[in-house]
């Protein structure tokens, strides 16, 4: 098995010490060894970033943007290669991997606007011969810790914008599928990024703690589970760092009696079972307003779930690949058993699925529960697998109360033809990202991504305008040039116009 290296100061670096296996989820076989970075290796990356920062921060934004333009082109040229690596290590289908990459490239496109997004604000004559302006300056060395479920897209939420704002970056990707992330970082160097501005280190909690504790690291971005998000936020802010930590989700779709049910079913199939449900924006709860809607929905879902095309992610024409690991598959299976024990109706059971030629893969078929109630674990907790729960309520108000009472507030949507219902839902729902007849309301790159409540720790969302604010700090400058031959007496009162 090959050893996947770190990328530090523009060089591929290996080290002796602890390693982890990287698996192909479709075959169940280990395919690579991954070094788990020591504190010394983390410090080398920090030192490289710190050394590169003075020159990079003084590089004109237009030249930084030129690097991003070339980077975007290289990403598009290498789409097939990147998608193959994602699918081999994550398990998602090639089409899904390509879609993930395209959404990541949108953020590179936004970063290409550096000269515009970094423009300060200027006011002339705020007082006698006094001008004032604000400037957006980089923080220095910043770091990102990213999850397995989007090894291309989520890192691209972070470092293109951080770097184009003038920072130097250290990325700690997931240990489960690091190859595509490393390749993409190498393409950024190929695009002309100076050595040390972008570094990639592999590791586990020890690497995360080293980044949290390093005084040189001024900001941390994280996407993952809520317990880890809360830990990183608490430990990072305790040390004076700026932190944005995106956590878990339990995303509801509300189906009104007037919904276009056929289109809603098509949308739910992709939103619940795409990427095997391993998305923080996956719809895992369908809240049906009325038994008639619920009965019709279940009747339409069942044959489509049973017809899902499931196989090795690197094959073409599939709907779903495997889960990322045996542990993930077993955890989801445990939730299914718990749902049955709690009294929910398991209408479609995807356990026990075997894929010919890939019998050792981490496969699980689509599952559907009906008659789920709010006190059940399968309702309360994030399953992160191909499991959709149907909850029955009597009114839109009851559906909204159900969602607002949940600890997570990441994403939600409503299917309706009624504008009044949609407007009420958008105004009153306590969730950060809302869709109307859109099941996965992931904001485009020039908006910002983030949930409410325990789905986000920190004041600023990811990428877009909030990302610019997160990776810069504002400096306000007030300047005066007195007229010649003028003299003013000292003023001891607080200055005012």
| 341 plus 372 within the same structural domain | yes
Kindly report the pTM of this predicted structure: 0.94
What is each CA distance from 125 to 131, 479, 491, in whole angstroms?
5, 10, 19
Domain assignment of residue 486, yes or no: no
**What is the Rg, in whole angstroms, of the alpha carbon atoms belonging to the chain?**
25
| 300 plus 181 within the same structural domain | no
b/e code 376-399 from CB counts within 10 Å (16+ = b): bebbeebbbbbbbbbbbbeebeeb
Domain assignment of residue 443, yes or no: no
* The pLDDT of residue 494: 79
* The pLDDT of residue 245: 98
| 42 plus 55 within the same structural domain | yes
* The pLDDT of residue 497: 61
Residue ranges of alpha helices (H) inside 246-362 are 261-273, 291-306, 326-341
* The pLDDT of residue 482: 79
Phi, psi (5° rounding) for residue 150?
-135, 75
By DSSP bridging, strand 168-172 and strand 141-145 are: parallel
| 281 plus 172 within the same structural domain | no
List, in order, residues 6 or more apart from 390 with CB less than 8 Å away.
285, 286, 288, 294, 297, 298, 368, 369, 370, 371, 372
Residue 426, domain extent: 251-436
Instruction: Quote the CA–CA distance of 169 and 68 in Å, as a whole number.
Output: 15
Give me 52's structure tokens. 């590169």
Instruction: Quote the CA–CA distance of 37 and 402 in Å, as a whole number.
Output: 43
| 288 plus 432 within the same structural domain | yes
What is each CA distance from 405 to 283, 314, 375, in whole angstroms?
17, 40, 12
By DSSP bridging, strand 130-138 and strand 472-480 are: antiparallel
| 170 plus 243 within the same structural domain | yes
Measure the CA angle with vertex 87, ends 440 and 146; round to 5°. 65
Domain assignment of residue 482, yes or no: no
| 43 plus 136 within the same structural domain | yes
List, in order, residues 6 or more apart from 189 with CB less than 8 Å away.
7, 10, 195, 198
By DSSP bridging, strand 242-246 and strand 251-255 are: unpaired
| 44 plus 132 within the same structural domain | yes
> Helix, strand or coil for residue 477?
strand
Domain assignment of residue 265, yes or no: yes
Domain assignment of residue 143, yes or no: yes
By DSSP bridging, strand 452-453 and strand 408-409 are: antiparallel
The enclosing domain of 283 has a CATH number of: 3.40.309.10
| 385 plus 464 within the same structural domain | no
The DSSP annotation for 327-361 comes to HHHHHHHHHHHHHHHTT-EEEE--TT---TT-TTS
Give me 63's structure tokens. 């030249």
| 170 plus 201 within the same structural domain | yes
Tell me which of 280, 288, 367, 413 is the catalytic residue. 280
Give me 452's structure tokens. 């409410």
Q: Which residues are registered as beta bridge partners of 245? A: 222, 457
Domain assignment of residue 445, yes or no: no
Instruction: Quote the CA–CA distance of 98 and 95 in Å, as a whole number.
Output: 5
Instruction: Quote the CA–CA distance of 236 and 322 in Å, as a whole number.
Output: 34
Alpha carbon 373 to its chain centroid, in Å, reads 29
Domain assignment of residue 489, yes or no: no
With 0-12 / 13-18 / 19 or more C-beta atoms within 10 angstroms meaning exposed / middle / buried, residue 2 is: exposed
Active site residue 316: no
Number of domains present in the structure of the chain: 2
The answer to whether 414 and 390 have CB atoms below 8 angstroms apart is no
b/e code 345-367 from CB counts within 10 Å (16+ = b): ebbbebeebebeebeebbbbbbb
| 239 plus 358 within the same structural domain | no
What is each CA distance from 146 to 22, 69, 178, 260, 454, in whole angstroms?
16, 24, 10, 37, 18
| 167 plus 256 within the same structural domain | no
- Tell me which residues of the chain have a pLDDT lower than 70: 485-486, 496-497
Residue 228's H or E segment, with its range, is: helix 226-238
Domain assignment of residue 303, yes or no: yes
Measure the CA angle with vertex 148, ends 301 and 82; round to 5°. 95
The answer to whether 349 and 50 have CB atoms below 8 angstroms apart is no
């Amino acid at each position: 098995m090959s050893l996947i290296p770190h990328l530090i100061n523009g060089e591929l670096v290996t080290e002796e010490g602890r390693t982890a296996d990287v698996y192909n989820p479709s075959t169940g076989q280990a395919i690579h060894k991954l070094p788990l970075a020591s504190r010394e290796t983390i410090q080398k990356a920090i030192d490289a970033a710190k050394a590169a920062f003075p020159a990079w921060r003084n590089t004109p934004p237009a030249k930084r943007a030129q690097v991003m333009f070339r980077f975007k082109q290289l990403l598009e040229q290498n789409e097939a290669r990147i998608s193959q690596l994602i699918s081999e290590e994550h398990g998602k289908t090639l089409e899904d991997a390509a879609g993930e990459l395209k959404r990541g490239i949108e953020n590179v496109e936004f970063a290409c606007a550096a000269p515009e997004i970094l423009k300060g604000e200027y006011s002339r004559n705020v007082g006698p011969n006094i001008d004032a302006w604000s400037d957006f300056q980089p923080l220095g060395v910043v770091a990102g810790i990213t999850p397995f479920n989007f090894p291309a897209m989520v890192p691209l939420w972070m470092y293109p914008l951080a770097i184009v704002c003038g920072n130097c970056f250290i990325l700690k990707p997931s240990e489960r599928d690091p190859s595509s992330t490393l390749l993409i970082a190498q393409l950024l160097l190929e695009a002309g990024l100076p050595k040390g501005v972008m570094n990639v280190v592999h590791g586990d909690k020890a690497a995360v703690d080293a980044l949290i504790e390093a005084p040189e690291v001024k900001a941390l971005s994280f996407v993952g589970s809520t317990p880890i998000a809360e830990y990183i936020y608490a430990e990072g802010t305790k040390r004076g760092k700026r932190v944005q930590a995106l956590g878990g989700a339990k995303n509801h779709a509300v189906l009104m009696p007037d919904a276009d049910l056929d289109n809603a079913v098509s949308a739910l199939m992709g939103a619940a079972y795409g990427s095997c449900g391993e998305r923080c924006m996956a719809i895992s709860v369908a809240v049906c307003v009325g038994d008639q809607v619920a009965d019709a929905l279940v009747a339409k879902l069942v044959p489509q779930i049973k017809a899902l095309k499931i196989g090795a992610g690197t094959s073409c024409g599939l709907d779903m690949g495997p889960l990322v690991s045996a542990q993930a598959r077993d955890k989801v299976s445990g939730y299914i058993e718990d749902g049955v024990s709690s009294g929910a109706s398991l209408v479609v059971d995807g356990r026990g699925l075997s894929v010919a030629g890939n019998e050792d893969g981490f496969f699980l078929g689509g599952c559907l529960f009906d008659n789920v109630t709010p006190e059940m674990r399968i309702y309360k907790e994030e399953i992160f697998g191909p499991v959709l729960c149907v909850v029955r309520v009597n009114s839109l108000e009851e559906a909204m109360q159900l969602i607002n009472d949940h600890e997570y507030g990441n994403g939600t949507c409503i299917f309706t033809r009624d504008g009044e219902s949609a407007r009420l839902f958008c105004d009153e729902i306590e969730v950060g990202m809302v869709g109307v007849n859109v099941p996965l309301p992931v904001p485009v790159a020039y908006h910002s991504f983030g949930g409410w409540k325990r789905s986000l720790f920190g004041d600023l969302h990811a990428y877009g305008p909030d990302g610019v604010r997160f990776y810069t700090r504002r400096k306000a400058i007030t300047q005066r040039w007195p007229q010649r031959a003028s003299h003013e007496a000292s003023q001891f009162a607080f200055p005012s116009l």
